[in-house]
Amino acid sequence: MNRTRFLFALTGLAAASMFAAGPASSDDLHLRLVSSAPEADSTVAPPSEIRLTFSQVPQEGSTSVRLLDHAESLIETGKITHSGDGEIFHAPVGTTLADGSYTVAWRTMADDGHVIRGEIPFVVKSGTIQP
Ligand SMILES: [Cu+2]
């Protein structure tokens, strides 16, 4: 095999192994947010809870949920509980939210110690019919 052919073979090998460990499969293995209620960028009636569903069970006690209004003032939420196998988190909203823009800021930690976080903006409009 001459040098060019050898390099070509190496490149093919590298491409094949990258394909085998592609981003789609590693994404499935790692902790991520699968869905939320309210959904990001949705308009909803005042919610009675914030619900986050993760792709796997985070580290015990590592999940926090903060609800902020348009002025980034913290709105009190109740004690977080979980359901399912421990991957669905519920934060009760004790008050009826006034019409306006809100953000859920969440944070959690995977079993391997990686912290992931995100923000979910949504709008409250009383009288909105949920689909
Ligand atoms: Cu990780």
pLDDT given at position 3: 62
| pLDDT higher than 50, residue 118 | yes
Burial (CB count <10 Å: 0-12, 13-18, 19+), residue 65: buried
- What pTM was estimated for this model as a whole? 0.78
Q: What is the pLDDT of residue 130?
A: 74
Sign of the alpha-carbon dihedral angle for 127, 41, 118, 98: negative
* Domain ranges within the chain, ordered by starting residue: 1-30, 31-124
Report the C-alpha gap between 104 and 74 in whole angstroms. Answer: 10
CA of 17 to the centre of ligand 1 (A): 20
Whole-angstrom distance, CA of residue 18 vs CA of residue 13: 9
Give me ligand 1 centre to Cα 89, in Å: 20
CATH annotation of 31-124: 2.60.40.1220
pLDDT tens profile 80-102: 999 999 999 999 999 999 999 99
Q: What residue has token string 């006690």?
A: 61
